[in-house]
Structures are given as C-alpha cells and as structure tokens.
Amino acid sequence: MKYSSFGNTGLSLSRLGFGAMRLPKKKTGEKESVDFEFAAAVMQRSFDLGVNYVDTGPGYCDDQSETAVAMALKGYDNVYLSTKNFMDDDSTEKWMGKLEKSLKVLGRDHIDFYHLWAIDLAAFNEKFYKKGGPMETAARAKEQGLIKHLSFSYHGKPEDIAQVIDSGLFSSMLVQYNLLDRSFEDGIRHARSKGLGVVAMGPVGGGVLGAPSPVIQSLLKEKSQSTAETALRFVLANPNVNMALSGMNTMEMVEENAAVASADTPLTLEELQRVEAMMAEHKKTAELYCTACDYCKPCPQNVEIPRIFKSMNYHRVYGLTGLAKSSYREIRNENNAGACNDCGTCEEKCPQKIEVRRQLKECHGFLSEDM
C-alpha cells in the first residue's frame, strides 16, 4: 500500500480509504440489514492490506454503518476514523448530542476526522458561524480531545468551495471526483495548496463506473482489467488527491482496489495525458447532443432537458447503459421527457439547433424501458 503526507496533519495515510456507506447486507425474513460479521471481515481485510482510514456516517446503511465499523476496528488501533455531523440543526445541544452518540456507538473516546456533512457555502456561512452554533461547539470538542481534526464534505457549487477552504478551520476535505465528474478539480488543487488533506469520494462514481464500459476500459488496455480499475487509477494519478475513498462490499473489490493503490505509479504522465485527451474527445461527442448551456430553459412544461440529455450521453458516449437508466429514473415523471407536449419553444432557443423534441422522444423511449 502506498501512503501520502496528509496535508498539514503530520499523518501518513493510505492512498486508498475504506468508505463504509455500502456495506454488504443480508436478508432475515422480509428485512434486509447489514451483514455485520462479513462487513467487519471485508473492512479488516482492507486494513490487513494497508488501508489505515475508514469513513462512516451515522445515517449510512440505515444507521448501521457506525456499529459495523466499531466491530471492524477491534484490534486495529492504527486505523484512523472519520465520521460526520449533518448540520440540519445548528444548536449546540443537538450538534454535540450527535457527536456524543457517534462516540458511544463507535466505542471511541475521540474521532480522528470529524466532518461537517454535505455542506454548501450558504450552510457554512449561515449555520456554522452562528453564535452558540457548531463552530463554537466544534472548537470546544477539539479542546476536550473529542475531535482531533475538523473536516468537511462539500456538495455545493464548485466555484464556492475556495471560500470554505480559505476559512482556515479545516484539516481536510471530502469531495466527489472521478473520470466523469471533474468539476472540483480546481478546488482540489486549491485545497492542497492551502495544506488540507484531500479525499476523493465516488472514485468509481458510486459504483456506476464498476459497470463494464468498453470506451473507458480501452483507455488503458494494457494496464487495467476493468472499468473500475481505470477509474481508480485516474483519481490516484491526480497529485493533489491524497486518497481515493471507495465503498467496498466484497473481498474482490478490496483486493483489486488495494492492488491499484499499491502501484508505484497509478498512471504514467503519458498515460494520463492519453486518458485526458480521449475523455476530452468523448466530451466533445457528448456536446454534439447538448452542451448543457441551459438556454432551452425554462421549459413551459418544466422538462429537465439538459439533465435528460446528460443521462442519455452516459449510454451513447460511454456505454454506461445502467447508469443512463438509473439517472433518468431519478427525474420525476412530471419533469422527464414524457412530459414534453411538442411545443417547440426549446428548439427556438437552442444555439446548437438541436432537434430537441425528436431527441427527447428517443431518450424517453430508450431510458424509460423497465421503469
């Protein structure tokens, strides 16, 4: 396993982290729950292979993730623990109460990396800084030794993240970054320059890049055996990313990911340049269908036109048909392509002169199969 100096923390952390948000499950009668014994074994196998960072959250796996992590950590004192506190309430009592509950469930006297969970700039400014709110509580918890490092996971606009980084309050950050979503690349670079440890979540797109894609797999024909391996190598090749956080639920995933994170060089400079050039070409192909400029909006029927075309491009451009259909299913019926009434307003506004109505019918016909 390869390790990197984690920002200004003075710690050496593994390039691969274990994300405990998709733990293996089993059915007991009609009910499905975490298979605690097997989940602990999977995590412990990763620890044996050198992973020394595990990330959980109180809501993961129907509130069972922290319990499973506590089981897995028994006998592994060299593994750093990360969990989170969602700022749905900015009162001191509730924020501290959630921290104390996590400590109790995890059986720990401190959390190594405690995250403000899923914040955006507005939540950070309006809730965290509030007098008597989470900032003061977090500072007190650090003084008491309950938190070693304060961190944040970010789900806001990429262009706003620098303001959170520049606050100087955090030791590390967690953001989504993968082959198909590079929107936080500038923010990642900025965080690293400011001495923050950078953890990339979703390196295989929440599992969707684990599905076979001839297009993506062909990027590294002689090196990668799967789409997931190509995706993980790409993330680890970014010099500003300290760690790829992968949600693993089988021994096979652990073995494959650990092998990639143990490689001397995930990608050579030449390979990285080739991947970036080919992905740029595929992006151009996608933009033949839609550049997501949003000029077609608002649609009189509230059809989510750019979002629909983005879903279709997962299939057309990358061969990720499962991802295309699952992302389309996330669009409400009143906003999907089936709601189009053929008015043509979108085509009048489209600078690409796309036959939007025809494309929407094609998208709906294909993507709504099995819905």
If asked whether residues 84 and 220 sit together in one domain, one would say yes
Identify the CA nearest to 105 among candidates 77, 68, 140.
68
Give 184-227 pLDDT, tens digit per residue.
Answer: 999 999 999 999 999 999 887 655 555 556 666 566 555 555 66
| 69: in domain | yes
Task: Please state, in angstroms and rounded to a whole number, the distance separating the CA atoms of residues 278 and 276.
Answer: 6
If asked whether residues 116 and 224 sit together in one domain, one would say yes
Q: For the residues 120-143, what does the mean pLDDT come to?
A: 84
Identify the CA nearest to 244 among candidates 205, 195, 271, 279.
205
If asked whether residues 115 and 26 sit together in one domain, one would say yes
CA 346, 347, 348, 352 dihedral sign is positive
If asked whether residues 345 and 232 sit together in one domain, one would say no
- Left if phi > 0, otherwise alpha if psi is -120 to 50, otherwise beta: which for 195? left
| Structural domain harbouring 200 | 3-268
Q: Which residue has the tokens 């076979």?
A: 212
Look at 342 and 27; give whichever has higher pLDDT.
Answer: 342
Q: Is the pLDDT of residue 29 over 90?
A: no
Identify the CA nearest to 201 among candidates 173, 233, 226.
173
Last residue of a domain, one of 268, 297, 320: 268
If asked whether residues 165 and 26 sit together in one domain, one would say yes
Give 49-104 pLDDT, tens digit per residue.
Answer: 999 999 999 989 999 999 999 999 999 999 999 999 987 666 778 889 999 999 99
Residue 178 — pLDDT band, cuts 50, 70, 90? confident
| 154: in domain | yes
Q: Is the pLDDT of residue 266 over 90?
A: no
Quote the percentage of the chain above a pLDDT of 70: 89
If asked whether residues 222 and 323 sit together in one domain, one would say no
Residue 270 — pLDDT band, cuts 50, 70, 90? confident
CATH number at residue 134: 3.20.20.100
| 279: in domain | no
Task: Please state, in angstroms and rounded to a whole number, the distance separating the CA atoms of residues 220 and 223.
Answer: 5
pLDDT for res 274: 74
| 167: in domain | yes
If asked whether residues 128 and 251 sit together in one domain, one would say yes
If asked whether residues 209 and 312 sit together in one domain, one would say no
| 277: in domain | no
pLDDT for res 129: 74
Instruction: Provide the domain count of the chain.
Output: 2
